[in-house]
Structures are given as structure tokens and as C-alpha cells.
Amino acid sequence: MNPKFLILYLIAGTVALILVIYQAVTTYSDLNTGRIVLNLIISVFFYYLAYKTYHEKKDKELM
């Protein structure tokens, strides 16, 4: 993975997590758990991509 996308993945994951929290707070009385779980999966996916990008960057520096 290209290490240039690390910041982009972190920003996308954070925005997705903020949207999940916002959606949970604003629709507390009529909570749609399917949509919240889907958005959480998207957020975790972007954080995973950021981790993989950072991890490969550190490995390449050691070699």
C-alpha cells in the first residue's frame, strides 16, 4: 500500500466514526442498528487500511 494514503485513511475513518456517533445521538429513540453497524464496519475498515499502510512503511524503513 502507498504510505501517502495514511492521512486520508485516518481522516475517512474518523469522519465515519463521527457520523456513527452523530447518528446514534440524533436518532436515539428510533435507533437503526443495521445502519450503525454498517457505518462502524466502514470506519473499522478505514482504520485497518491506515494501520496496514503505517505498518508497511515501518517495515520498509528497517530493511
Angle formed by the axes of helices 33-62 and 6-26, nearest 10°: 160
Q: How many domains does the chain have?
A: 1
pLDDT of residue 61: 61
List average pLDDT for each run of 10 residues in the chain, which is 63 residues long: 83 94 88 89 94 69 55
Q: Are 11 and 46 in contact (CB under 8 A)?
A: no
pLDDT of residue 32: 84
pLDDT of residue 13: 94
pLDDT of residue 41: 95
Residue 36 vs residues 2, 11, 25, 42, 48: alpha-carbon distances, Å: 29, 19, 11, 10, 18
* pTM listed for this prediction: 0.77
Residues in contact with 1: Cβ distance below 8 Å, sequence separation at least 6, in sequence order = 49, 52, 53, 56
Q: Which domain holds residue 25?
A: 3-62
